[in-house]
Amino acid sequence: MTKPIIDTRGLSCPQPVVLVLQALKGMTGSFDILVDSGAARENIRRTLEKKQIGFDAKEENGDTVYSVKR
């Protein structure tokens, strides 16, 4: 099975964080988060760090991809 992707690109704040919070609640495994705005990038990073959830960050075609590992 391919890893689920949460695509937050183009959404106004705080929808990116809301989607991530919902994914954290609704899913048990790992997933990727696609982010394209500076504010959302920092908000999601802060949310994950606060919840002490492990993740990798990389740049892909100008977007940031956070890979949440659980």
Partner 1 sequence: MKYFFASRTGIIVTGIAIGVIAPLLQYLGNPRNMGICVACFERDIAGALGMHRAAVVQYLRPEIIGIVLGAMLVAFLGREFKARGGSSPLIRFFLGVFAMIGALVFLGCPWRALLRLAGGDWNAIVGLTGLALGIYVGSLFLKQGYTLHRTQSYPNKSAGFVMPTLMIGLFLLLVFQVSFGEGNPIFASTQGPGASRAPLYISLVAGLIFGGLAQRSRFCTMGSLRDLFISRDLHLFSGVVALVLTAFVLNLVLGQFNPGFIDQPIAHNMHLWNFLGMALAGLAFCLAGGCPGRQLILAGEGDTDAGVFVLGMIVGAGFSHNFAMASSPNGIGAFGASGVAVGLIFCLATAWIMTQQRQKAA
Considering only 3, 27, 29, 42, the residue that binds partner 1 (CB under 8 A) is: 42
Q: What is the SS3 assignment for 6-69?
A: EECCCCCCCHHHHHHHHHHHHCCCCEEEEECCHHHHHHHHHHHHHCCCCEEEEEECCEEEEEEC
* Contacts (CB under 8 A) with partner 1, residues 1-40: 9-15, 17-18, 21, 36, 38-39
Rule CB under 8 A: is residue 69 a binding residue for partner 1? no
Residues lying near partner 1 in the complex (CB under 8 A): 9-15, 17-18, 21, 36, 38-39, 42-43, 46-47, 50
